[in-house]
Amino acid sequence: MADIRKQLLAAFEVEYREHVDAIRGALAQARAGEAVNVREVFRRAHSLKGAARAVDLPEIEEAAHAMEALFAEILEAGGQVSPSLAGLVAPHLATIERRASTVYRRDDIAEQHDSPLETLSSEFLRIDGDRLQQLSMAVHDLSGNLDRLDADAEDLRSLQARAEGLARMLEAPARLQDQTRLSQEARVIARGLRAASRAHKETALISQIAGARLRDEIERISLVPASTVFAGLETMLLDLANESGKRVEVKVEGLETQADRRLLQALRDPVIHLLRNAVVHGIETPIDRHSVGKSERGEIGLTFM
Q: How far apart are CA 68 and CA 72, in angstroms?
A: 6
Residue 31's identity, in one-letter code, is R
Write down the pLDDT at residue 114. Answer: 40
Answer whether residue 165 shows pLDDT above 50. Answer: yes
User: Measuring CA to CA, how many Å separate 120 from each of 6, 107, 109, 190, 195?
Assistant: 6, 11, 8, 64, 57
Residue 63 — very low, low, confident or very high, per pLDDT cuts 50/70/90? Answer: very high
Write down the pLDDT at residue 117. Answer: 32
User: Of 7-11, 253-257, 297-301, which one has max mean pLDDT?
Assistant: 297-301
Phi (first) and psi of residue 123, to 5 degrees: -125, 140
Q: Is 304 helix (H, G, I), strand (E, B) or coil?
A: coil
- Least confident window among 4-13, 15-24, 37-46, 259-268: 4-13
CB crowding 221-236: b at 16 or more within 10 Å, else e: eebbbbbbbbbbbbbb
Q: What is the pLDDT of residues 126-159, one digit of tens each?
A: 666 666 677 777 777 777 776 776 677 777 777 7
Summarize the confidence of residues 265-290 as an average pLDDT: 86
pLDDT, greater one: 116 or 11 = 11
- Contact 52/61 with Cβ under 8 angstroms? yes
Q: What is the pLDDT of residues 198-230, one digit of tens each?
A: 777 777 777 777 777 777 777 677 777 787 778
Q: How far apart are CA 106 and CA 120, in angstroms?
A: 8
Answer whether residue 68 shows pLDDT above 90. Answer: yes
pLDDT, greater one: 128 or 78 = 78
Answer whether residue 65 shows pLDDT above 90. Answer: yes
Summarize the confidence of residues 186-206 as an average pLDDT: 78
Write down the pLDDT at residue 3. Answer: 66
Write down the pLDDT at residue 290. Answer: 85
Q: How far apart are CA 72 and CA 67, in angstroms?
A: 8
Q: How far apart are CA 122 and CA 12, in angstroms?
A: 12
User: Measuring CA to CA, how many Å separate 220 from each of 88, 159, 225?
Assistant: 37, 42, 11
Summarize the confidence of residues 49-66 as an average pLDDT: 90
Answer whether residue 303 shows pLDDT above 80. Answer: yes
User: Measuring CA to CA, how many Å separate 91 from each of 24, 67, 81?
Assistant: 11, 10, 15
Beta bridge partners of 252: 302
Q: What is the pLDDT of residues 84-125, one digit of tens each?
A: 888 888 889 888 988 888 887 643 333 333 433 333 344 555
Mean pLDDT of the chain: 78
